Amino acid sequence: MQITVYGATGTFGHHLVAHLRSRGHSVIAAHRGIGVDTYNGEGITEAAEGSDVLVDCVNRMTNNRHKALDFFSRSSRSIAMAAAENPGAAMVCLSIAFRPEVTRSKLLGYYQGKELQERVYRRLVPSDQLLVFRSAQWFELAQSMTIAAGPLAFVPKMVVRALAADEAARMMAEAIDSGERGTVEVAGPEISDMPSIAAAILGAGAGTAGRDGAVRDARDSEVSDGVGRGRRRRVPTVIPVPIPGPMSRDGLIPDSPRLSGVTLDEWLRTR
């Protein structure tokens, strides 16, 4: 099949492209770098031409409700319009597994954007052509959520059933291959929380604090001592930050997801 992946360079998208290609599909890897902008509409239809499946895995990371609603509604609407110009093409929307109560919190504008994205696809794409693929949080998210301050790393105490982004992408590629439609939810083998995941990543030496406070791969952690030798930054101590509302309970835990068998420890060993 020919498959267009919007957001092909992202954390998820680059894994999906690799899985689809290894299954023998021809992939159009779309992103702004090649002139495809799902927000302003540029190049979307051209990237979709002749494709049997379109996948939306674009992202704008923001907790600002207005920005999240604006980005996800505009992007999904323009991709859905491109799908409509390819009669019979399947549409796959990558969303997040969350319970409805999560979107009621004013603090979580991002999830309101994702809810709207799902609604746009359900309204504009016929149900026999649509797969809404809802993934639980990824291990990688613990890295981007960590705010480091000297010897400390602050991580929100979200309860999650996380999995590796690569595993979510593998499961989506399988679902695309078998022509699935409707809603599929995927998650990891264990229920845990973000601070524990961040601590395991830091402890395994797979992530360290950058100057701007974000936690990065160990590759970025070497700092020069001025005489040509590198030294590792000190691994920060993780401080869980309590958060109000459903995300600290079961708001992000899907009811009966398809499970990845790859645990956090196994994922850390393969990085």
Applying CB under 6 A, the residues found at the interface with ligand NAP are: 6-13, 31-33, 36-39, 57-61, 94, 96, 114, 135, 137-138, 141
DSSP string, 74-111: HHHHHHHHHHHTSTT-EEEEEEE---GGGGG-TT-HHH
Give the shortest CB-123-to-ligand NAP separation in angstroms. Answer: 18
Q: Which is nearer to ligand NAP, 30 or 90 (CB)?
A: 30
Give the shortest CB-71-to-ligand NAP separation in angstroms. Answer: 7
Query: For the chain, how far is it from start to end, CA to CA, in angstroms?
Result: 30
Q: Which is nearer to ligand NAP, 150 or 163 (CB)?
A: 163
User: Hey, what are 40's tokens?
Assistant: 């302003």
Q: Which is nearer to ligand NAP, 35 or 225 (CB)?
A: 35
d(CA 246, CA 89) in angstroms, rounded, equals 37
Give the shortest CB-13-to-ligand NAP separation in angstroms. Answer: 5
d(CA 206, CA 96) in angstroms, rounded, equals 25
Q: Which is nearer to ligand NAP, 142 or 148 (CB)?
A: 142
Give the shortest CB-52-to-ligand NAP separation in angstroms. Answer: 20
d(CA 167, CA 178) in angstroms, rounded, equals 17
Phi/psi at 5 (nearest 5 deg)? -110, 110
d(CA 153, CA 210) in angstroms, rounded, equals 11
d(CA 95, CA 114) in angstroms, rounded, equals 6
Give the shortest CB-75-to-ligand NAP separation in angstroms. Answer: 6
DSSP 30: E
Q: Which is nearer to ligand NAP, 233 or 262 (CB)?
A: 262
**Which single residue brings its beta carbon nearest to ligand NAP?**
10
Q: Which is nearer to ligand NAP, 77 or 233 (CB)?
A: 77
Give the shortest CB-111-to-ligand NAP separation in angstroms. Answer: 9
